[in-house]
Amino acid sequence: MDTHQPGSTINELRDLFDRQRAAFEREPFPDLRTRRDRVGRILALTLEHESDLVAAISRDFGHRCAQETRLAELFIVITAARTALRRLPRWMHPQRVATPVNLLPGRSELRPQPLGVVGIISPWNYPYQLAMLPALGALAAGNRVLLKPSELTPTFSALLRELVARRFSEEEFAVVLGDAAVGGAFAELPWDHLFFTGSTAVGRQVALAAAANLTPVTLELGGKSPALFAPDADFALTLPRLAAGKLLNAGQTCIAPDYALVPAARREAWVAGLKAAVAALYPTIAGNPDYTAIISERHFQRLTGLMEDARRRGATVVDLRPAGEAPDPARRRFPPTLLLNVTEEMAVMREEIFGPLLPVETYESLEEAIRRVNARPRPLALYFFGERAVDRERVLQETIAGGVTVNDTLWHIVNEKLPFGGVGPSGQGCYHGEHSFRRFSHLKPVFYQSRWATGKFLWPPYGARFDRIFGWIKRLSR
């Protein structure tokens, strides 16, 4: 497959950006038919090339469970495209806004308007979903799109470039391949909006590059998402859900539970329950087609380093593999592993894990657990497991997180009616469903003045009439 493309050098990237900007100026407000056509092409691409996309992603990972790719990537994009096709007329329609009585008989509205040329930098962990969901939203909103996928998934990225080029002109939607230098130049372009998904460290660099042009940015980052088990949590119900969410994509998920908070009196029962849950999901690890590999040797060694650092500092390492099964570093199969007795100085409690390691902290009171969550940077997700409404409401009110699922993991990301995004160091801005359309639109405020407007009574020369009318307006505005 030929991986060379326009945009593979910095000069070509700038030329492609300029051509998209010129195309947008020629068509600043694509009509409904045009937008539906573009969204429909993404839907067709996804449906017709499912097996190709699954195979390319698996090749880049070394092994990626096909069912995980179909469920967590392709299905989500398909659902989003069908929703956009169905609801675009309503999304595009100007929204009437209430007008205060002192401005009547004028009227007000918000008119969604495309931003222009949108840049998207997508990551490697869910390379199709996290590239195409924002692209779909930007196209539905009437924008032109340039997409820079991760260099860590070269087979997939080259395939995506080829498939997009077959269905879209470069002035509509194009994929740019390249290394970190191309990525840096990409972030420095004067986009009308720049959308980045990735680590907090790289997100800071992207934000700095965008600031030079005052480019508005959406940052979908990560962080340490806690799984907080209340004293009355039903382990038989919730631990299989924790295991499924943590080990999806071998933990390489931005909203995967990153550490667990467990009542001290129930820790042993919790560990035993999680062992059983993992064994039911993954009876074997090394040759199991359902268990995904770590993306690269560097990331495998990083996870090994986090585990060994914790061990050296006093953590207890609990291997959740079936007894007697050897690890498989050659195929980058990192086993599900618990770390007990963790402390703050351990790297695993300071860095986002992005793998199947799960540190476990114990607490004596719910107040202590909440205090620990709040002492750390605000997470992308929080998971609460418990039955008492009073405990649930306390955690929801006293903690801050990008999103929450109660008594399960990950599912808040699936509901298109819920915005998805971070808060503070876990991100800024949100998308999904109509929230994507709004993210890539300018909601232009418009006021329509009536021929019977009363504003003339506030014109100079000022005097008794002004005081009388202004007093009346103030009373109406209470």
254 is a catalytic site residue: yes
**DSSP class per residue in 130-189:** HHHHHHHHHHHTT-EEEEE--TT-HHHHHHHHHHHHHHS-TTTEEE----HHHHHHHHHS
Residue 109 falls in the annotated catalytic set: no
Q: In which residue are the tokens 């490697």 written?
A: 124
Q: Does an H or E element contain 45, and which?
A: helix 32-48
Residue 359 and residue 433: Cα distance in Å, rounded? 34
- Mutual angle of helices 180-188 and 10-26, in 10-degree steps: 30
Helix (H, G, I), strand (E, B) or coil at 333: strand
Distance between CA atoms of 138 and 117, rounded to whole angstroms?
A: 9
- In sequence order, what are the residues at sequence separation of 6 or more whose Cβ sits closer than 8 angstroms to the Cβ of residue 229? 235, 238, 260, 261, 262, 263, 266, 270, 385, 386
274 phi and psi angles, rounded to 5 deg: -70, -40
Q: How far is CA 416 from the centre of its chain?
A: 12
Question: What does the alpha-carbon distance between residue 338 and residue 213 come to, in Å, rounded to a whole number?
Answer: 45
Catalytic residue among 220, 352, 361, 434: 220
Contact by Cβ (8 Å): 197, 137: no
Give the Cα separation of 111 and 141 in Å (integer).
12
Q: What is the gyration radius of the CA atoms in the chain, in angstroms? A: 26
Q: In whole angstroms, how far apart are CA 62 and each of 55, 57, 114, 288?
A: 10, 9, 40, 13
- Residue 114 to residue 97: CA distance in whole angstroms: 20
The single-letter DSSP state of residue 73 is I
Q: Are 118 and 193 in contact (CB under 8 A)?
A: yes
What angle, rounded to 10 degrees, do the helices at 32-48 and 75-92 form? 170
Q: For residue 340, which of 321, 319, 359, 363 has the smallest C-alpha distance?
A: 359
**CB of 195 closer than 8 Å to CB of 118:** yes
Of 254, 352, 416, 434, the active-site residue reads: 254
Summarize the chain as % helix, strand, coil (round to 5).
50, 15, 35
Report, as residue numbers or ranges, the catalytic residues: 220, 254
